[in-house]
Chains A and B, each alone.
Chain A
Amino acid sequence: MARSNKPILWLPFAAGGLVSALIIPVLIAITGVLLPLGLIHLPYAKLVATVHNPIVKVIFFGVIAFSAWHAAHRMRTAAHDLGLGGGIFVKTICYGSAILVIFAATIALLLL
Protein backbone atom coordinates (compact mmCIF):
# COMPACT_ATOMS: atom_id res chain seq x y z
CA MET A 1 0.00 0.00 0.00
CA ALA A 2 1.31 3.39 -0.90
CA ARG A 3 -0.13 6.84 -0.64
CA SER A 4 -2.31 7.39 -3.64
CA ASN A 5 -2.09 10.19 -6.17
CA LYS A 6 -5.85 10.22 -6.40
CA PRO A 7 -6.01 13.82 -5.07
CA ILE A 8 -4.96 15.08 -8.49
CA LEU A 9 -8.14 13.57 -9.90
CA TRP A 10 -10.32 14.18 -6.87
CA LEU A 11 -9.68 17.87 -6.15
CA PRO A 12 -10.87 19.12 -9.57
CA PHE A 13 -13.76 16.65 -9.29
CA ALA A 14 -14.82 18.16 -5.97
CA ALA A 15 -14.40 21.71 -7.29
CA GLY A 16 -16.38 20.75 -10.37
CA GLY A 17 -19.18 19.38 -8.24
CA LEU A 18 -19.60 22.71 -6.50
CA VAL A 19 -19.11 24.85 -9.62
CA SER A 20 -21.57 22.83 -11.67
CA ALA A 21 -24.10 22.73 -8.83
CA LEU A 22 -24.03 26.51 -8.49
CA ILE A 23 -23.78 27.62 -12.11
CA ILE A 24 -24.96 24.99 -14.60
CA PRO A 25 -28.69 25.14 -13.77
CA VAL A 26 -29.02 28.87 -14.46
CA LEU A 27 -27.01 28.50 -17.70
CA ILE A 28 -29.36 25.78 -18.90
CA ALA A 29 -32.28 28.00 -17.95
CA ILE A 30 -30.83 30.65 -20.24
CA THR A 31 -29.87 28.52 -23.24
CA GLY A 32 -32.57 25.89 -22.94
CA VAL A 33 -35.62 27.82 -21.73
CA LEU A 34 -35.31 31.60 -22.00
CA LEU A 35 -33.56 31.61 -25.36
CA PRO A 36 -35.97 29.23 -27.13
CA LEU A 37 -38.86 31.22 -25.63
CA GLY A 38 -37.39 34.42 -27.06
CA LEU A 39 -37.11 36.07 -23.64
CA ILE A 40 -33.36 36.39 -24.11
CA HIS A 41 -31.29 36.91 -27.25
CA LEU A 42 -27.64 36.06 -27.66
CA PRO A 43 -26.53 38.19 -30.61
CA TYR A 44 -23.18 37.28 -32.12
CA ALA A 45 -21.47 40.65 -32.01
CA LYS A 46 -22.39 41.44 -28.41
CA LEU A 47 -21.39 37.97 -27.22
CA VAL A 48 -18.02 38.19 -28.96
CA ALA A 49 -17.44 41.56 -27.35
CA THR A 50 -18.30 40.14 -23.93
CA VAL A 51 -16.11 37.06 -24.29
CA HIS A 52 -13.21 39.27 -25.36
CA ASN A 53 -12.85 40.18 -21.69
CA PRO A 54 -10.16 37.95 -20.12
CA ILE A 55 -12.09 37.64 -16.87
CA VAL A 56 -15.09 36.32 -18.80
CA LYS A 57 -12.78 33.86 -20.57
CA VAL A 58 -11.45 32.59 -17.26
CA ILE A 59 -15.00 32.16 -15.93
CA PHE A 60 -16.18 30.27 -19.02
CA PHE A 61 -13.07 28.12 -18.91
CA GLY A 62 -13.55 27.40 -15.23
CA VAL A 63 -17.19 26.43 -15.56
CA ILE A 64 -16.61 24.18 -18.58
CA ALA A 65 -13.34 22.61 -17.44
CA PHE A 66 -14.39 21.81 -13.88
CA SER A 67 -17.84 20.57 -14.92
CA ALA A 68 -16.35 18.34 -17.62
CA TRP A 69 -13.76 16.94 -15.23
CA HIS A 70 -16.39 16.35 -12.55
CA ALA A 71 -18.44 14.36 -15.05
CA ALA A 72 -15.42 12.39 -16.27
CA HIS A 73 -14.29 11.29 -12.82
CA ARG A 74 -17.77 10.45 -11.62
CA MET A 75 -18.61 8.49 -14.77
CA ARG A 76 -15.38 6.57 -14.42
CA THR A 77 -16.32 5.43 -10.92
CA ALA A 78 -19.90 4.77 -12.04
CA ALA A 79 -18.57 2.53 -14.81
CA HIS A 80 -16.71 0.61 -12.14
CA ASP A 81 -19.88 0.38 -10.04
CA LEU A 82 -21.82 -0.90 -13.04
CA GLY A 83 -19.33 -3.68 -13.60
CA LEU A 84 -17.82 -2.13 -16.70
CA GLY A 85 -14.39 -2.31 -15.12
CA GLY A 86 -11.97 0.44 -14.18
CA GLY A 87 -9.24 -0.31 -16.65
CA ILE A 88 -7.35 1.81 -19.09
CA PHE A 89 -10.21 1.70 -21.62
CA VAL A 90 -12.76 3.24 -19.28
CA LYS A 91 -10.26 5.80 -18.00
CA THR A 92 -9.30 6.85 -21.52
CA ILE A 93 -12.91 7.35 -22.59
CA CYS A 94 -13.86 9.28 -19.48
CA TYR A 95 -10.88 11.53 -18.93
CA GLY A 96 -10.17 11.67 -22.65
CA SER A 97 -13.62 13.08 -23.36
CA ALA A 98 -13.15 15.72 -20.68
CA ILE A 99 -9.74 16.66 -22.05
CA LEU A 100 -11.20 17.01 -25.55
CA VAL A 101 -13.98 19.27 -24.28
CA ILE A 102 -11.52 21.36 -22.26
CA PHE A 103 -9.13 21.53 -25.20
CA ALA A 104 -11.87 22.69 -27.58
CA ALA A 105 -13.05 25.34 -25.14
CA THR A 106 -9.49 26.54 -24.55
CA ILE A 107 -8.72 26.91 -28.25
CA ALA A 108 -12.00 28.73 -28.84
CA LEU A 109 -11.39 31.10 -25.93
CA LEU A 110 -7.86 31.81 -27.13
CA LEU A 111 -9.15 32.63 -30.61
CA LEU A 112 -11.97 34.83 -29.36
Chain B
Amino acid sequence: MSRRPYIREMRRSWWLRRRRTLFYMMRELTSFFIGLYSALLALGLVQLARGPQAWDSFIALITSRGGVIFQLLCFAFALFHSVTWFAVTPKAVPVSAPAKAVIGAHYAVWAVISVVILLLAGRFVDGSIQ
Protein backbone atom coordinates (compact mmCIF):
# COMPACT_ATOMS: atom_id res chain seq x y z
CA MET B 1 0.00 0.00 0.00
CA SER B 2 1.62 3.26 -1.10
CA ARG B 3 1.25 6.44 0.90
CA ARG B 4 0.07 9.69 -0.63
CA PRO B 5 -0.82 12.10 2.15
CA TYR B 6 -3.26 14.72 0.90
CA ILE B 7 -2.43 18.33 1.68
CA ARG B 8 -5.35 20.73 2.03
CA GLU B 9 -4.47 24.22 0.84
CA MET B 10 -5.52 27.16 2.94
CA ARG B 11 -7.87 29.53 1.16
CA ARG B 12 -7.16 33.23 0.99
CA SER B 13 -10.62 33.80 2.40
CA TRP B 14 -9.86 31.68 5.47
CA TRP B 15 -10.65 34.50 7.86
CA LEU B 16 -14.11 35.14 6.37
CA ARG B 17 -15.33 31.62 6.84
CA ARG B 18 -15.83 31.53 10.58
CA ARG B 19 -17.13 34.12 13.02
CA ARG B 20 -14.11 33.76 15.28
CA THR B 21 -11.60 34.54 12.55
CA LEU B 22 -13.75 37.35 11.13
CA PHE B 23 -13.78 38.89 14.60
CA TYR B 24 -9.99 38.51 14.73
CA MET B 25 -9.50 40.29 11.40
CA MET B 26 -11.82 43.13 12.43
CA ARG B 27 -9.88 43.40 15.66
CA GLU B 28 -6.62 43.70 13.76
CA LEU B 29 -8.18 46.23 11.39
CA THR B 30 -8.81 48.57 14.34
CA SER B 31 -5.11 49.38 14.25
CA PHE B 32 -5.46 50.74 10.71
CA PHE B 33 -7.77 53.46 11.99
CA ILE B 34 -5.58 54.08 15.02
CA GLY B 35 -2.75 54.63 12.55
CA LEU B 36 -4.82 56.95 10.36
CA TYR B 37 -5.86 59.03 13.34
CA SER B 38 -2.29 59.27 14.61
CA ALA B 39 -1.39 60.59 11.15
CA LEU B 40 -4.18 63.15 11.54
CA LEU B 41 -2.73 64.21 14.89
CA ALA B 42 0.71 64.54 13.31
CA LEU B 43 -0.83 66.64 10.54
CA GLY B 44 -2.41 68.83 13.18
CA LEU B 45 0.94 69.44 14.82
CA VAL B 46 2.52 70.22 11.47
CA GLN B 47 -0.24 72.73 10.64
CA LEU B 48 0.05 74.23 14.12
CA ALA B 49 3.77 74.72 13.52
CA ARG B 50 3.14 76.32 10.15
CA GLY B 51 1.09 79.18 11.54
CA PRO B 52 -2.47 80.44 12.17
CA GLN B 53 -3.69 80.09 8.60
CA ALA B 54 -2.46 76.53 8.32
CA TRP B 55 -4.08 75.79 11.67
CA ASP B 56 -7.40 77.25 10.53
CA SER B 57 -7.34 75.04 7.46
CA PHE B 58 -6.73 72.04 9.73
CA ILE B 59 -9.68 72.99 11.92
CA ALA B 60 -11.77 73.37 8.77
CA LEU B 61 -10.66 69.91 7.69
CA ILE B 62 -11.54 68.13 10.90
CA THR B 63 -14.85 69.92 11.32
CA SER B 64 -15.91 69.31 7.73
CA ARG B 65 -18.54 66.67 7.01
CA GLY B 66 -15.94 64.30 5.57
CA GLY B 67 -13.60 64.99 8.45
CA VAL B 68 -16.24 64.23 11.04
CA ILE B 69 -17.42 61.06 9.31
CA PHE B 70 -13.82 59.85 9.08
CA GLN B 71 -13.24 60.59 12.76
CA LEU B 72 -16.46 58.88 13.82
CA LEU B 73 -15.32 55.80 11.92
CA CYS B 74 -11.96 56.03 13.71
CA PHE B 75 -13.84 56.46 16.98
CA ALA B 76 -15.83 53.26 16.50
CA PHE B 77 -12.71 51.26 15.66
CA ALA B 78 -10.73 52.89 18.48
CA LEU B 79 -13.38 51.88 21.01
CA PHE B 80 -13.39 48.34 19.61
CA HIS B 81 -9.61 48.32 19.96
CA SER B 82 -9.75 49.46 23.58
CA VAL B 83 -12.38 46.91 24.55
CA THR B 84 -10.62 43.99 22.84
CA TRP B 85 -7.18 45.07 24.12
CA PHE B 86 -8.35 45.25 27.73
CA ALA B 87 -10.17 41.94 27.37
CA VAL B 88 -6.95 40.02 26.64
CA THR B 89 -4.71 41.68 29.20
CA PRO B 90 -5.30 38.89 31.79
CA LYS B 91 -3.53 36.49 29.43
CA ALA B 92 -0.31 38.44 29.79
CA VAL B 93 -0.19 38.22 33.56
CA PRO B 94 0.51 35.15 35.74
CA VAL B 95 -2.26 32.61 36.17
CA SER B 96 -2.96 33.62 39.76
CA ALA B 97 -4.00 37.21 39.01
CA PRO B 98 -7.81 37.51 38.91
CA ALA B 99 -8.84 38.30 35.34
CA LYS B 100 -11.76 40.58 36.22
CA ALA B 101 -9.54 42.74 38.43
CA VAL B 102 -6.92 43.12 35.69
CA ILE B 103 -9.53 44.17 33.14
CA GLY B 104 -11.34 46.37 35.63
CA ALA B 105 -8.12 48.17 36.51
CA HIS B 106 -7.60 49.00 32.83
CA TYR B 107 -11.11 50.41 32.50
CA ALA B 108 -10.58 52.46 35.65
CA VAL B 109 -7.33 53.94 34.33
CA TRP B 110 -9.05 54.57 30.99
CA ALA B 111 -11.84 56.48 32.69
CA VAL B 112 -9.45 58.57 34.78
CA ILE B 113 -7.20 59.46 31.84
CA SER B 114 -10.18 60.33 29.68
CA VAL B 115 -11.69 62.60 32.32
CA VAL B 116 -8.34 64.32 32.91
CA ILE B 117 -7.82 64.95 29.20
CA LEU B 118 -11.39 66.23 28.80
CA LEU B 119 -10.89 68.62 31.70
CA LEU B 120 -7.62 69.87 30.24
CA ALA B 121 -9.24 70.38 26.85
CA GLY B 122 -12.18 72.02 28.54
CA ARG B 123 -9.92 74.86 29.57
CA PHE B 124 -10.11 75.89 25.93
CA VAL B 125 -13.91 76.09 25.91
CA ASP B 126 -14.52 79.78 25.44
CA GLY B 127 -11.19 80.54 23.84
CA SER B 128 -9.51 81.39 27.13
CA ILE B 129 -7.41 79.33 29.49
CA GLN B 130 -8.82 79.61 32.99
In the complex, A touching B (Cβ < 8 A): yes
Q: How far is the CA of A51 from the CA of B45 in the complex (A)?
A: 9
In this complex, how many residues of chain A approach chain B with their Cβ under 8 Å: the count is 58
Specify which chain A residues have a CB less than 8 angstroms from the CB of B128 in the assembled complex.
Answer: 46
> B124 is contacted by which of A46, A51, A68 (Cβ under 8 Å)?
A46
User: Chain A's nearest CB lies how many Å from the CB of B123?
Assistant: 8
Q: Are B86 and A21 in touch, CB under 8 angstroms? A: yes
Cross-chain pairs A/B with CB under 8 angstroms, 19 sampled: A23-B117, A28-B71, A28-B78, A31-B71, A32-B62, A35-B63, A41-B125, A46-B124, A67-B35, A70-B34, A71-B32, A75-B32, A75-B35, A77-B28, A78-B29, A81-B15, A104-B42, A104-B45, A107-B46
Q: A32-B75, A68-B35, A71-B38 are in contact. Are A48 and B28 (CB under 8 A)?
A: no
A-B pairs with lowest CB-CB distance, top 8: A71-B35, A32-B71, A74-B31, A108-B45, A67-B38, A26-B114, A105-B42, A21-B82
A to B contact number (C-beta, < 8 Å): 180
What sequence of 0s and 1s flags, for each residue 5-40 of chain B, a beta carbon within 8 Å of any chain A beta carbon? 000000010010000000001001101101111111
Q: Does A18 contact B (CB under 8 A)?
A: yes
CB proximity to B under 8 Å, residues A26-58? 26-36, 39-51
